[in-house]
């Protein structure tokens, strides 16, 4: 990588807020931004997991600011926004909306309460936090990266509520790109395929089922394997960086070619 490329991935003096930072893609993204010199605000309701990620960032020479908060609760979203504003004097250069849940279910098996819960976790929280932080992002002419899913681009079976929520995230991304582009704010999304995280198990899958799922998933990705959280984090950092200064409104598959494959 040349000198220009290295400078483009330098986040020194930049403030980056990441939700869902305690595990999986969010944790890997936090550690990558830490290596790139960012001032971090890390958000998750899992306080123990969040502390572990913060310790790893400290070992990388970073001094992250952790905020324990539940994005399902509107007052806590408001508190997260206010704490970030106070901590960094209103500066926010990058917002990574990484928090989300992934329950399974068809229309027949998904109750309305579950549907509402998924939309609140994956769509409403993202909408409201972004709205509250928008003044800082506009002031800094910053960048937003939403963590969507290949399900936003292509429906998968037994995930009706999740598929719908990620399609909404993709449309949110495109809508904001149009609305905020003239004001200098770029908005993009990453759409991961199957990544080795705790997302499926948190959605109710037991250990044996998860192992079988990973084995099957090796055959449903063109690269013949599932992904690693760091591979998605790399794409997020690129989209947030000056290397992507003319990129907005993109929903970028980071999926090993899964959206191209015929098997679900």
Q: For residue 5, what pLDDT is reported?
A: 52
> What digits encode the pLDDT tens for the residues 180-224?
999 999 999 999 999 987 766 565 666 777 677 677 777 888 899
CA 88 to chain centre: 21
Q: Which numeric CATH code is attached to 3-249? A: 3.40.50.720
- At residue 235, does pLDDT exceed 60? yes
As a whole number, mean pLDDT of residues 130-134 equals 98
As a whole number, mean pLDDT of residues 105-124 equals 97
Give CB contacts under 8 A, 24+ apart, made by 215-222. Answer: 217/193, 219/263, 220/194, 220/258, 220/261, 220/263, 220/264, 221/193, 221/194, 221/255, 221/256, 221/257, 221/258, 221/261, 222/256, 222/257, 222/258, 222/260, 222/261
- At residue 171, does pLDDT exceed 50? yes
Lowest mean pLDDT of 4-8, 209-213, 235-239, name the range.
4-8
Q: For residue 200, what pLDDT is reported?
A: 62
Q: For residue 204, what pLDDT is reported?
A: 61
Q: For residue 80, what pLDDT is reported?
A: 98
Q: For residue 261, what pLDDT is reported?
A: 86
CA-CA distance, 252 to 170, in Å (whole number)? 10
As a whole number, mean pLDDT of residues 252-260 equals 93
Confidence bin at 4 (pLDDT 50/70/90): very low
- At residue 65, does pLDDT exceed 50? yes
Instruction: Say whether 128 is catalytic.
Output: no
Catalytic residue chosen out of the listed positions 65, 88, 128, 162? 162
Every domain of the chain and the residues it spans = 3-249
As a whole number, mean pLDDT of residues 146-154 equals 96
pTM of the model: 0.93
Confidence bin at 1 (pLDDT 50/70/90): very low
Give the Å distances, CA to CA, from 142 to 15, 62, 138, 237: 10, 21, 6, 13
């Amino acid at each position: 990588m040349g000198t220009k490329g290295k400078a483009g991935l330098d986040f020194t003096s930049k403030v980056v807020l990441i939700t869902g930072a305690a595990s999986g893609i969010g944790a890997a993204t936090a550690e990558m931004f830490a290596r790139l010199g960012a001032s971090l605000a890390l958000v998750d309701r899992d306080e123990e997991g969040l502390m572990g990620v913060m310790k790893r960032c400290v070992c990388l020479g970073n001094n992250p600011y952790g905020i324990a908060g539940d994005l399902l609760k509107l007052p806590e979203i408001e508190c997260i926004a206010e704490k970030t504003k106070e901590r960094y004097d209103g500066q926010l250069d990058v917002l990574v909306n990484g928090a989300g849940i992934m329950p399974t279910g068809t229309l027949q098996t998904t109750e309305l309460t579950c549907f509402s819960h998924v939309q609140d976790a994956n769509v409403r929280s993202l909408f409201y936090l972004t709205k509250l932080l928008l003044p800082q992002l506009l002031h800094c002419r910053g960048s937003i990266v939403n963590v969507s899913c290949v399900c936003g681009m292509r429906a998968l079976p037994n995930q009706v509520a999740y598929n719908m929520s990620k399609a909404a995230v993709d449309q949110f991304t495109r809508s904001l790109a149009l609305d905020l582009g003239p004001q200098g704010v770029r908005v993009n999304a990453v759409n991961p395929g199957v990544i080795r995280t705790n997302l499926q198990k948190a959605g109710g899958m037991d250990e044996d089922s998860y192992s079988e799922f990973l084995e099957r998933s090796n055959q449903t990705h063109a690269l013949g394997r599932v992904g690693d959280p760091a591979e998605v984090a790399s794409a997020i950092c690129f989209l947030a960086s000056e290397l992507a200064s003319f990129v907005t409104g993109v929903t970028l598959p980071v999926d090993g070619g899964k959206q191209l494959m015929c098997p679900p």
